[in-house]
Amino acid sequence: MLTLVHDPGYLAAVRRAPSDPTGVGHGLGTTDNPVFDGIYESSALIAGGSVTAARLIHEGKAQHAVNIAGGMHHAMRDAASGFCVFNDAAIAIAWLLGQGYERIAYVDLDVHHGDGVQAAFWSDPRVLTVSIHQTPLTLFPGTGYPEETGDPVKAPGSAVNLALPNGTDDSGWLRAFHAVVPGVVRAFAPQILVTQCGCDTHHEDPMADLGLTVDGQRAAYKAMHELAHEVSEGRWLTLGGGGYGLVRCVPRAWTHLIAEAAGTPVPPARPSPTPGRRTCCPRACGSNRRAR
C-alpha cells in the first residue's frame, strides 16, 4: 500500500532510521522530522487509517469518514518533510484510483501548501488538487504560488493554489475560498471529495500568521460538507493535518469537523466544557451528573 506513493528505498530507510538516526538521509533525523522508535509502524498506521476510511466510503459502509491523525501532506515520494513521514492523503487517493475512480478532488485547508499531494498527482488529470494557504513568501514549504497549475502537457489546470497574505482573517479567507474553491470543484465534477483540514490557520497558532477563528474554520468545514453532497453524492473523506494551538484551537476546531461529518454540527454558541470537569459514563457510574 505504501508503495502506491513512496519509493521502496525510502520505505527501507524509514525502517532502519531508529538504528541510524543521523545518517539515514531522506529528510529523516532533522529538526522537522526527528527519528524515534516505531517511526515506521506509527507512520504506517496513520496511512492505514486513511486508506481504511477511503475503503469504508468506497464500499458504501459510510458516506463520510474522518481520520484526524491523517493529513500528512508534506511527505514526498522519497523523503520526509514538515513533520510528515508517509503521505496518507496521497496514498488514500492512489488507492481510490486503483478501485476505478476517474475524478477525485483534493482540497487542502491547512495554513501550509499541500505540496506533497500536489507533487504526487502533478501529472495525473484524474486528480484535482486545490490548496488555500499562507503565502509561500513567508511560510514553509515555499511553494503553492498561483502559477503552479499542474503538468502543462499531461494535466494542465489540475492544480489550483490560493496564496493569502499574512494576517488574513475569517472574512478575507472565506471570501477567497468561496470565490474559487466551490467553482473549480464543481467544474471538475469529482466522484469523491478528499479534504485536509489542518487548523493551523487559527490566529493563535504559533507556527504561522493567518488570522482565522474557530468559527471561521467551522464555516469552512460546513462548506466542504455541503459541497460533497452537491458534487460527489456525499462521498467525503476528511483528514486532520497541522494544528499547534493545542489547548484553545485544535480540540475545538476538530470537534466541529467531526461533528459536521457525523451530521450533528455543534452550534457555535454552545459553551466549551468547563476545564477540569468531565461527564460521567452512565454505564460506569450510573449517573449523567458532572463530576470532578
d(CA 16, CA 32): 18
| Joined grid coordinates for residue 162 | 490560493
CA angle 26, 31, 35 (to 5 degrees): 60
74 is catalytic: yes
Q: In this structure, what is the dihedral angle of CA atoms 208, 213, 218, 224, given to the nearest 10 degrees?
A: -50
CB 99, CB 59: distance < 8 Å: no
> In this structure, what DSSP letter does residue 273 have?
P
| C-alpha pair distances (Å), 111 with each of 108, 134, 139, 196 | 9, 6, 9, 10
Residue 251 burial (CB count, 10 A): 16
Sign of the Cα torsion 194, 213, 178, 109 reads: negative
Which entry of 6, 64, 74, 112 is annotated as an active-site residue? 74
Q: In whole angstroms, what is the distance from residue 247 CA to residue 251 CA?
A: 7
Cite the active site residues. 74
